Structures are given as structure tokens and as C-alpha cells.
Structure 1
Amino acid sequence: MNTYTAEQLAEILGKHKAWLDDEEGGERANLSGANLSDANLRDANLRGAYLSGANLSDANLRGANLRGAYLSDANLSDANLRGANLRGAYLSDANLSDANLSDANLSGANLSDANLRDANLSGANLSGAYLSGANLSDANLSDANLSGANLSDANLSDANLSGANLSDANLSGANLSDIRELWGASGNGREIKSLQCGTYAVTYTATHMQIGCQIHEISEWWAFSPAQIDRMDNQATAWWGVWKPILETIISSAPAEPGGIEPESESEAA
């Protein structure tokens, strides 16, 4: 795995800029397989660069331009990509676990089978992104734009989807078990459904329902006593008396489609 000094990186970036500007002496950056762990690439322009298989763990790529870059199989674990432009980037099989991708632009990016476990994607633009088979368990997707994204067979267990926009998203086969937060999320009308019921926004999957800040299994909601509802919010008891039968009717007549089956743990698979 090649390593580079700060001076060598600066030279590569300079030639890449010249290539982007069609200037003489320009050369497209090829950092495939490079060891760039802990590198400071803040605000760097790597649009269309080759970075497949590179080690960018703990790298500072805040505000970097990686539009259309080739990052398949790259290691970006713990990297800072806040506000980075990854529009149309190729990130299939990349390791982005624990990475900070808040407010990043990933629209149209290919993240198939990528590892995004525990990643911070709050406020990120993932519209039209391809996330089939991606691991998004424990990821923070609050206020993320996932409209039109392909999340088929993705793992969203324990993910935070509060305020996320999932309109027209493909969630077929996705693991939606034990989602941490759905408050204020806009569903796709199939696996995740949302509606406004007077005071409270209601979002539900095939197994869980969030009302206000409370998320529980649907069967648990139906079994709660008035006293338990009152302990959640002392203003909710009267609301629940009116809306419980209405919600029971809505969910029984228009249930959310079930997602995928929760993946086996390593010990079970062994």
C-alpha cells in the first residue's frame, strides 16, 4: 500500500486540478490502494479521482469534493466527511463505519453493500442513492433526504430515522427491526407509513409505531392502559381515547408491508 508525504499529495492534487481544468501537464489523481489514513484532505478537490481500495480511515475530508470519485472497497471508517460532495460517487463495498457524513451530498451515489454502521448521516442528501444491501444499523439518518433511494435488502436495525424523507424509497427486503426513531419521518407509503392525527404525528412499520416521541411495538400500543398512556404525556390520554380505535382501523385495513428478516448473528450463522 503506497504512502505519500504531504508534499507528494499536494503535487498530486495540483496535477488533478490541472486535469479538471484541461490544462497542460494535468493528470487525473490515481490513489487507488493508497494509505491515506489520518490524511488532511479538508476541502480537497478530488472530483472523479481514483481512490478504490484506499485506506482513508480517520482522514479529514470535511467539505471535500469527491463528486463521481471511485471509492469502491475504500476504508473510510471514522473519516470526517461532513459537508463533503459525494454526488454520484462509487462507494460500493466501502467501509464507512463510524464516519461523519452529516450534511454530505450523496445523491445518486452507489453505496451498494457499503458498511455504514454507526455512521452519522444526519442532514445528508441521499436522494436517488443506491444503498441495496448496505449496513445502516445504528446509523444516524435524522433529517436525511432518502427520497427515491434504493434501500432494498439494507439493514436499518436500530437506525435513527427521525425527520428523514423516505418518499418513493425502495425498502423491499430491508431490515426494519427495532428502528430507534421514526419521529417526524415521511414514509414511503409501503414499508413505512406516516400520518398526522391531530396533535401527534404517527409513523408505523409492520411491527412498530411511533407517536410523538414514543416508539413501541404495535401490539404493545394496543395493550397500554390509560394510566400508562398518561405517564407518557398527561395530555395524551384524551387524544388516545379518540384516536386509538381510528388507528386500529387504519392499521388493520392498511398495514405496512413487512421488511426483510433480521440477519443472523455471527454466532448463529456459525
Structure 2
Amino acid sequence: MNQAELDVVIEKHEKWLRDGYGERANLSYADLRRADLSGANLRRADLSGANLRGANLSYADLRRADLSGANLRRANLRGANLSYANLSYADLNWINWRDVVSLTVIAVQINTTRKNNQITYIKELEIWTTGCFQGTLEELKTSIENTHKDNEKLKAKYYRVIDFILQEEE
């Protein structure tokens, strides 16, 4: 979907939200890679399964939007409102979380073998991400043990960052 087509969908969606005469945005499974959705009102939109990799969603209103299964890898969510959004099974790796509304996100850079790896914890979803990993804390610990079983120094770095994040979120 090109930007002009996307702008029409957003315009109809905003009209639907405003007076009920437009059309609810159904962007499920749409290819929206690198799309500019900055400031868009996508409240209650269906973005399930959409490919939003690298999309600009800064300051977008995504309240109650369905983002289940969406690929948000490397998306810019700065200042976006995600109140009550459905993010189940969404790919949330390497997102710009700065000033996101309604989620507590703690992201820490760690110097690893891949240089400046980022570990992110999304408190309300109880999701941890790092590199290509996304899952629970127990799954993260298992991944660290399996991936770095021969590097105690690197494992210790990961666990120090995890401990720091857990202290910060209290």
C-alpha cells in the first residue's frame, strides 16, 4: 500500500471515529513497511498481522488498536498512545519506545559480542526483548544460558542488566 492509499484509509477512519459515516481502518496483514503514520489517529483500527517494520508511528493514537501479530520491529513509537492496544504476539524488537503513553518500558544498552545490544522490558505485557529474542523472563534466562553457555563473563553482563531492570521497575 502506498502512502496516498494509506492517507485515504486514515481519512476515512478518522471520519468513522468522528461521526460514524466513514470506514473503520482495516489494515490487517497490510504491508506498511517504512510507512509514515506519524500523528495518525488509528484508535480502534485493525492492524493485526500488519508489517509495520520501520514504520513511523510517532505520536500516533493507537488506543484500543489491534496490533496482535503485527511486525513492529524497528518502528518509531515515540510519543504514541498505546492505551488498551492489543500487542499480543507482536514483534516488539528494536522499537523506539521514547515517551510511549500507557506502557512502562525500560531499555538498557549492553556491550556484548554484537556491540551495544539492547535489552528491553515492557512491564504491562511482561515481555522481554533482545536481539531477535522476545519472550518471558524465564525464556530469556533459558536463552542466555543456551546461547552463552561457554561465556560466563557475557552471561554475567546479561544478568546484571536484568537485575538492574527488575530493580528499576519496582
Query: What range is the shorter-chain TM-score in?
Result: 0.7 to 0.9
**Could you report, residue by residue, the CA deviation over 1:14-60 in whole angstroms, capped at 9, with x for unpaired residues?**
xxxxxxxxxxxxxxxxxxxxxxxxxxxxxxxxxxxxxxxxxxxxxxx
TM-score (normalised: structure 2): 0.75
1:201-240 equivalences in 2 (<5 Å):
201-205=118-122, 206=124, 207-221=126-140, 224=142, 227-230=145-148, 236-240=154-158
Equivalent residue pairs, number: 153
SS in 2 for 1:84: helix
- RMSD after superposition: 3.0
**Could you report, residue by residue, the CA deviation over 1:62-86 in whole angstroms, capped at 9, with x for unpaired residues?**
xxxxxxxxxxxxxxxxxxx335375
| Structure 2 match to 1:84 | 4
Largest Rg, 1 or 2: 1
2:36 is the counterpart of 1:118: no
Assess, with a 3 A threshold, how the Cα gap between structure 1 residues 137 and 244 changes in structure 2: closer, same or farther. same
2:109 is the counterpart of 1:197: yes
The amino acid that maps onto 2:119 is: V
SS in 1 for 2:120: strand
| Structure 2 gaps, min length 5 | 15-21, 112-116
Larger RCO (alpha carbons 8 Å, 6+ apart): 2
TM-score (normalised: structure 1): 0.49
Identity in percent: 33
2:67 is the counterpart of 1:145: no
**Could you report, residue by residue, the CA deviation over 1:80-137 in whole angstroms, capped at 9, with x for unpaired residues?**
x3353754752329xxxxxxxxxxxxxxxxx973111111111000011010111111
1:40-59 equivalences in 2 (<5 Å):
none
SS in 2 for 1:247: helix
| Structure 1 gaps, min length 5 | 1-80, 94-110, 254-270
Preserved CA contact (<8 Å) 2:106 2:165: no
**Could you report, residue by residue, the CA deviation over 1:126-171 in whole angstroms, capped at 9, with x for unpaired residues?**
0110101111111111111111100000011111111111111111
Preserved CA contact (<8 Å) 2:73 2:95: yes
2:93 counterpart (176, 179, 183): 183
**Which is richer in helix?**
2
